[in-house]
């Protein structure tokens, strides 16, 4: 009898050990570092490897946040499964809408409209306007949600003046979002936080303040030396522009 119990314990321990790599493979730290290394195939693997229907509600909400971050990459890289990700993202928003904060739902729906606009240029204007209106609604509901602030900042930064775009207003939104992430301890392995910080640098560039953009990138790299895009692409581009002889 004792021998049988020991065998069962060893079997349970072995199964736990075998499961650990699979669990660790999709930890926030792993997905965050993949974002820093621009290895977004890791995110795609995570989204495909997990069944949304079999997840707990908490896991589904986490899954949706990575889906929100990945779809734009799939569209930008013209991934063959881009439309599949857009459709899945929409279905998952619909399923989780009753349990998510209203402002967060509007952020996701605003992003979904933007993804449709990017994927099918036929809908570029109509879906672009829809995206713009939804983020405005999200901001009216919760102007202190850092994800709302980041999305609104991006709209203000990239929209033309005819659509009331304003980089200065965008910068205020990005900086407030950064402060809220930090004050609430939401910086660890949080791709939304480091992405928002990059937006601050891009906003300074948009405003023509290359030196502040460079200093912001240097601060990002001090905190996250492994952020490959900033280190190897964006910062060198900024420095080349800054060093270019003035006419």
What is the DSSP code string of 67-81?
A: HHHHHHHHHHTT-TT
CATH number of 143-247: 1.25.40.10
Buried b (16+ CB within 10 A) or exposed e, 121-159: eeeeeebbebbbebbebbbebbeebbbbbbbbbbbbbeb
Q: Kindly list the domain boundaries of the chain, sorted by start residue.
A: 42-131, 143-247
Q: pLDDT, tens digit, for every residue of 172-182?
A: 999 999 999 99
Q: pLDDT, tens digit, for every residue of 79-131?
A: 999 999 999 999 999 999 999 999 999 999 999 999 998 898 888 888 888 98
Buried b (16+ CB within 10 A) or exposed e, 28-63: eeebbbbbbeeebebbbebbeeeebeeeeeeebeeb
Which pLDDT score, from 0 to 100, does residue 18 have?
38
Does the structure show a pLDDT above 90 at 168? yes
User: Region 159-163: what's the mean pLDDT?
Assistant: 69
Residue among 26, 83, 68, 31 at smallest CA distance from 49: 26
Query: For residue 194, what are its two tokens?
Result: 């480091």
Helices 102-119 and 82-96: crossing angle, nearest 10°? 160
Query: For residue 100, what are its two tokens?
Result: 């998510």
pLDDT confidence bin for 162, thresholds 50/70/90:
low
Inter-residue contact 157 to 203 (CB < 8 Å): yes
Non-local (6+) Cβ contacts of 237 within 8 A are: none
| Beta strand spans in the chain (E) | none
Q: For a pLDDT cut of 90, what percent of the chain falls above it?
A: 72
| Beta strand spans in 124-227 (E) | none
């Amino acid at each position: 009898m004792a021998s049988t119990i020991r065998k069962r314990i060893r079997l349970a321990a072995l199964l736990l050990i075998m499961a650990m790599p699979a669990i660790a493979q999709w930890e926030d730290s792993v997905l965050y570092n993949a974002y820093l290394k621009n290895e977004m195939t890791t995110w795609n693997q995570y989204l495909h490897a997990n069944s949304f229907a079999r997840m707990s509600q908490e896991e589904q909400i986490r899954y949706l946040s990575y889906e929100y971050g990945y779809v734009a990459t799939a569209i930008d890289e013209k991934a063959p499964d881009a439309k599949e990700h857009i459709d899945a993202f929409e279905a998952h928003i619909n399923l989780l809408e009753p349990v998510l904060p209203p402002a967060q739902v509007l952020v996701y729906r605003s992003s979904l409209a933007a993804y449709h606009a990017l994927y099918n240029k036929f809908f570029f204007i109509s879906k672009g306007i829809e995206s713009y209106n939804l983020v405005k609604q999200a901001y009216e509901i919760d102007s202190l949600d850092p994800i709302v602030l980041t999305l609104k900042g991006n709209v203000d930064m990239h929209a033309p003046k005819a659509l009331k775009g304003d980089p200065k207003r965008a910068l205020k939104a990005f900086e407030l979002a950064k402060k809220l992430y930090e004050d609430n301890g939401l910086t660890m392995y949080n791709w939304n936080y480091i992405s928002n910080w990059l937006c601050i640098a891009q906003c300074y560039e948009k405003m023509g303040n290359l030196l502040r953009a460079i200093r912001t990138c240097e601060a990002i790299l001090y905190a996250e030396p492994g952020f490959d895009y900033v280190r190897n692409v964006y910062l060198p581009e900024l420095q080349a522009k800054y060093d270019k002889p003035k006419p």
